[in-house]
Amino acid sequence: MTETRRMQLHLGKCIEDLDKMYNLPDLKSKRATLLCKTAQKLFESAEEAYKNGDEEYSYVYYMKYLRIIAFITKDKEYQKDKTYFNNMLGSKNPNKAIDAAEKLKNSLIERYEKERKAQRLNDIKENELIKQKIEENRKKAMESMAVVEPAPTMGLPSLDEVTIRSEQLYTILKNGKLKVMILDARPGKDYIESHINHHACISVPEDCISPGKSANTLEQSLPTASRPIWAERATMELIIMLDWSSTTVIPGKPLHLLKTILLKWDVKVQYARAPLALWGGFEEWLLKYPALTTNPRAAPPPQQHHLLDDMLGDIDYPNWSDLNPVTPPSITRPKLGEPVVDRSSKAAAVQMYEERARNMQMILDQQERIADTSLTLEMQRIEAEQDWEKIHIQKENAQQDELRAVYKLREQEIISQLMQLENKQYDMEQENQSLREQLEEYQRREREEAARLASTLAQDQLQAEVNEQAAAARDLQAKRARIAAVQSQRDQLDRRREQLEIERKRKLAEARDKRKPSHDQDEDGDTYMMSPGDSPGAAALSRSHSSPNIPKVPV
């Protein structure tokens, strides 16, 4: 067989792969005559494959033929009539098969070795090609980075800044080179009245922002007009947050909560940089760039300190000199041997339990977030493994070197991606383990504290009830005594007022007796300007000086 007639190797990568193919099943139940016919067919197939240049199939068929021949020679029927079976098999065929199989084995071993060396050289060339392409891509990336490097000239703050000035934002919007989204966290009615005139400025009302919300939950509560732009937040290169007048991001305030939602509770989105707050808020922008707002005449809400001044101006403060001093309640000292009950420790214990409950809830929320992220990474890893398997199969089936190089490059990229996903998943598992340990520690401390408090409360409960009843009785007696004292003071004031009223009436009567007849004056001090002689019926009028409130009536 000449070299040009040989078929390409296709059954295995080495001679051991072919050795696994000629293993035969159990032949004990087969008759010798039937096995002879099978052996003859295998010999003919081996000869045919050898003529066609398929050395691998020819070698496998020869080896199967020899295995069957070896089994037949041990059969009882063969031992009884060797001449008959040798004529059926052919006297020269076994020796011919042995020689051909040995020759084919040596040839295949040599060809597999050459194939392995060629594959190694091809892999080296492919690796060199991959390195060359990676280097070219790196140079292109460096060149593109060098071209995009003038980003600081656009007015962007440094990465450690949390706010951006109005002048910087104006420069960025004017250049239009960056994709900017503006999140207006003022109340919805203020946004409708006036906002920054930018196509990606949306309303995120402050009443929709609350702790514990995720980005998806927040999206459901946004106005309908804001949702399409909110959905494009992952493609934005810069995100600006603003309210009316904040100059920094204060924990607990709407801007800080919104920033936390974007950075910590938006798992599927990776932002180019952390969101920035507009220094001075919309009030500062309205003052400097009114033309870039939808309504330049919008008025900011009054400042909080003005409201406090107005509220404090209407407060009437009491005069401490008019108040009766209150005697402080007596403090009962416990006797020796009595347990001391501190009621203030209950509030501290409740506060401590609430703090622990919040910490445990935070840990559970973080574990839930890590579980979701881990599931997402696992799905991405499975998809990457499937892609790698497809690329690997396509690479094996590719005949051209150029296609093989492309598939090899893609395979390397997927392997790198798989390694990154495995690292992320490992980090998530470590973080989850740490959180689980913290949760167990909190639960252990809570159990110990609960057991300690239960034993303490069991001892103090009876004494506490007795002390509460005694304190209630003392308070009741003190209140009754105070009510009696107030009633006594009220009676004294009533008697004093009656005496003053009697004295006033007596002095008023004396004053009336001393008045002249021509100047009559009533009880309220009013003077009648007419004399009795001016009236035609004055002689017939008899006026009593003891009743000054009766008016003059003409007769």
pTM over 0.75: no
Say if residue 371 is in the same domain as residue 485.
Answer: yes
- Identify the three-state secondary structure at position 239: strand
Say if residue 94 is in the same domain as residue 203.
Answer: no
**Gyration radius of the chain's alpha carbons:** 52
Q: Give the pLDDT band (50/70/90) at residue 338.
A: low
In this prediction, residue 295 carries a pLDDT of: 92
Tokens read off for 467 = 């002390």
Answer with the residue of higher pLDDT: 412 or 49: 49
Contacts of 364 (CB under 8 A, 6+ apart): 439
Tokens read off for 234 = 């992952």
Say if residue 170 is in the same domain as residue 281.
Answer: yes
- Flag whether 436 is in a domain: yes
Q: Give the pLDDT band (50/70/90) at residue 342.
A: low
Is 6 a residue whose pLDDT tops 50? yes
Say if residue 129 is in the same domain as residue 183.
Answer: no
Say if residue 208 is in the same domain as residue 288.
Answer: yes
Least confident of 373-377, 423-427, 531-535: 531-535
In this prediction, residue 538 carries a pLDDT of: 40
Average pLDDT along the chain: 78
How does pLDDT run across 200-225, given as a tens digit for each residue? 999 999 999 988 888 888 989 999 99
Which segment, 73-77, 83-87, 295-299, is predicted with the most confidence on average? 295-299
Is 280 a residue whose pLDDT tops 90? yes
Say if residue 386 is in the same domain as residue 448.
Answer: yes
- Flag whether 154 is in a domain: no
Of 451, 480, 499, the residue at which a domain comes to its end is: 499
Say if residue 396 is in the same domain as residue 470.
Answer: yes
- Flag whether 236 is in a domain: yes
Is 275 a residue whose pLDDT tops 90? yes
Answer with the residue of higher pLDDT: 66 or 546: 66
In this prediction, residue 535 carries a pLDDT of: 43
* DSSP symbols for 315-365: PPPPPGGGSPPPPPPPPPPPPTTPPP--THHHHHHHHHHHHHHHHHHHHHH
Average pLDDT over residues 403-421: 71
Q: Give the pLDDT band (50/70/90) at residue 267.
A: confident
Say if residue 70 is in the same domain as residue 180.
Answer: no
Q: How many CB atoms lie within 10 A of CB 153?
A: 9
Q: How far apart are CA 320 and CA 311, in angstroms?
A: 22
**Burial letters 155-194, b for 16+ CB under 10 A, else e:** bbeeeeebbbbbebbeebbeeeeeebbbbbbbbbebbeeb
Domain count, the chain: 3
In this prediction, residue 344 carries a pLDDT of: 59
- Flag whether 190 is in a domain: yes
Which CATH number characterizes residue 191's domain?
3.40.250.10
Q: Are 253 and 289 in contact (CB under 8 A)?
A: no
- Flag whether 349 is in a domain: no
- Flag whether 307 is in a domain: no
Is 351 a residue whose pLDDT tops 80? no
Say if residue 374 is in the same domain as residue 481.
Answer: yes
Of 83, 118, 136, the residue at which a domain comes to its end is: 136
Q: Are 420 and 436 in contact (CB under 8 A)?
A: no
Say if residue 294 is in the same domain as residue 218.
Answer: yes
Which CATH number characterizes residue 29's domain?
1.20.58.80
Is 147 a residue whose pLDDT tops 50? no
Q: How far apart are CA 267 and CA 380, in angstroms?
A: 14
pLDDT > 70 in the chain, percent: 75
* DSSP symbols for 356-401: HHHHHHHHHHHHHHHHHHHHHHHHHHHHHHHHHHHHHHHHHH--SH
In this prediction, residue 403 carries a pLDDT of: 66
- Flag whether 167 is in a domain: yes
Burial class (CB in 10 A: 0-12, 13-18, 19+), 328: exposed
The CB-side HSE value for 307 (13 A sphere, CA atoms) comes to 4
In this prediction, residue 184 carries a pLDDT of: 95
What residues make up the domain containing 168? 163-301
- Flag whether 157 is in a domain: no
Q: Give the pLDDT band (50/70/90) at residue 411.
A: confident
Answer with the residue of higher pLDDT: 514 or 332: 514
Of 101, 136, 171, the residue at which a domain comes to its end is: 136
Is 68 a residue whose pLDDT tops 80? yes
Average pLDDT over residues 105-109: 91
Is 331 a residue whose pLDDT tops 60? no
Q: How far apart are CA 258 and CA 252, in angstroms?
A: 10
Say if residue 214 is in the same domain as residue 130.
Answer: no
Least confident of 66-70, 159-163, 346-350: 346-350
Is 335 a residue whose pLDDT tops 70? no
Q: Give the pLDDT band (50/70/90) at residue 151.
A: very low
Placement of tokens 């021509």 in the chain? 518
Is 523 a residue whose pLDDT tops 50? no
Say if residue 271 is in the same domain as residue 362.
Answer: no
How does pLDDT run across 21-33, given as a tens digit for each residue? 888 777 777 888 8
- Count the helix, strand and coil residues of the chain and give each as a percent rounded to the nearest 5: 65, 5, 30
How does pLDDT run across 474-504, given as a tens digit for each residue? 888 888 888 888 888 878 888 888 888 898 8
Placement of tokens 């001449």 in the chain? 83
Answer with the residue of higher pLDDT: 399 or 370: 370
